[in-house]
Amino acid sequence: MSNGLEVNVSARGIATILLNRPERSNAIDQRVLDTLVEQFAKLSTDDRTRIVVFRGAGKHFCSGADLVARANAPEPSSTPTSIVDMLGALDRLPKPTIAAVHGAAIGGGAAIAACCDIVLAAEEAFFSIPEVRVGMPPLGVTPFVIRAIGHRSFRRYGLSGERFDALEALRIGLVHEVVRAEKLDGKLAEVIDALLLGAPGAQRALKDGMEHSVAPTVEAILARKPSHGPPRTAEALEGIASFKEKRKPSWYPQ
């Protein structure tokens, strides 16, 4: 696929989205934004796709917005796809999402990580939200990054724009696990295999439920409480049967 992006779906249903502009440290231009939103829409409804993995080609994961392309772009004739549109679509993807980060994850790159369900980082990875250093408040990424690292940590790193390493990203909640660079692919494979053991319908329902469970009121909790008794979906029945029979469930790709 052109437009600075490659998408490949494996036989096991793993969709790998490769940001592929290594000469620009995988900076996000308008073409990449448009293509990402299109791909999210396709992957959301593709029953073959079980998991979506984000990676970056070359030395870095993603250096954020392509400011050079933005400065040289003509005035759009219509409202273009925005970083908010792209991050919102990623955050709402009904499939489990993983970011495997190496090198830099800056601005929009850090926000992509913040919107993924699971983030793995190589030890040498680093992050920043540096927009204030070029005179722009990062309002487009702010809500998504705050959801990942909290208001207090964002006050520091959003206002200062300073870099922080993978261990600090782990401490503040942007990253789930830090591994040596040569171990990143192996850890990614482990996490993918763990996710494949989950029922896709249950994972989809859980992601939807989590969206409504961010600082909910008691009234909202009670309004969405599950019905009494164990679920009787086909997935639940198969899950119970596979547990009893000590075998992998039918949705696990061999």
Residues 209 and 181 in one domain: no
Q: Looking at the structure, tell me whether residues 49 and 130 fall in a common domain.
A: yes
Cα separations (Å) of 133 from 94, 107, 128, 250? 35, 11, 11, 51
- Please tell me what DSSP assigns to residue 65: B
Tell me what pLDDT residue 240 has: 84
What is the number of alpha carbons within 13 Å of residue 127 lying toward its C-beta?
31
Residue 186 lies in a domain: yes
Query: Does residue 147 sit within a domain?
Result: yes
What is the spatial distance between Cα 125 and Cα 104, in angstroms, rounded to a whole number?
6
End of a domain among 180, 196, 212? 196
Q: Mark whether 187 and 214 lie in a shared domain.
A: no
Does residue 221 register a pLDDT over 90?
no
Verify that 42 and 26 share a domain, yes or no.
yes
Kindly report, residue by residue over 170-179, the tens digit of the pLDDT. Answer: 999 999 999 9
Same domain, 206 and 190: no
Residues 6 or more apart from 240 whose CB is under 8 A from it? 230
Same domain, residue pair 26 and 146: yes
Q: Examine the domain organization and report whether 219 and 108 are in the same domain.
A: no
Q: Supply the DSSP symbol for 226.
A: P
pLDDT at 54 over 90: yes
Section 143-156 average pLDDT? 95
Q: Is residue 92 part of a domain?
A: yes
Q: Are residues 123 and 74 in the same domain?
A: yes
Cα–Cα distance for residue pair 70/53, rounded to 1 Å: 27
C-alpha–C-alpha distance, residues 32 and 93, integer Å: 17
- Are 235 and 175 in a shared domain? no
Domain interval for residue 223? 200-244
| CATH number of the domain encompassing residue 172 | 3.90.226.10
Question: pLDDT, tens digit, for every residue of 179-202?
Answer: 999 999 999 999 999 999 999 999
Establish if 177 belongs to a structural domain: yes
Report pLDDT for 243. 82
Q: Which percentage of the chain shows pLDDT scores above 90?
A: 74
User: Does residue 249 fall inside a structural domain?
Assistant: no
Neighbouring CB atoms inside 10 A of 42's CB total: 12
Residues 106 and 215 grouped into a single domain: no
Return mean pLDDT, the chain. Answer: 90
Q: With 90 as the cut, is the pLDDT of residue 210 above it?
A: no
Q: Is 232 within the bounds of a domain?
A: yes
* pTM confidence score: 0.89
Same structural domain, 22 and 148: yes
Structural domain count, the chain: 2
Asked if residue 50 is part of any domain, the answer here is: yes
> How much is the average pLDDT of 36-49?
96
Which letter, b or e, does each residue of 187-221 get, where b requires 16 or more Cβ atoms within 10 Å of its Cβ?
A: bbeebbeebbebbbeebeebbeeeeeeeeeeeeee
* Residue at 250 is within a domain: no
Whether 142 and 232 map to the same domain: the answer is no
Please give the C-alpha separations between residue 74 and each of 36, 69, 71, 86, 224, in angstroms, as whole numbers.
21, 10, 8, 21, 47
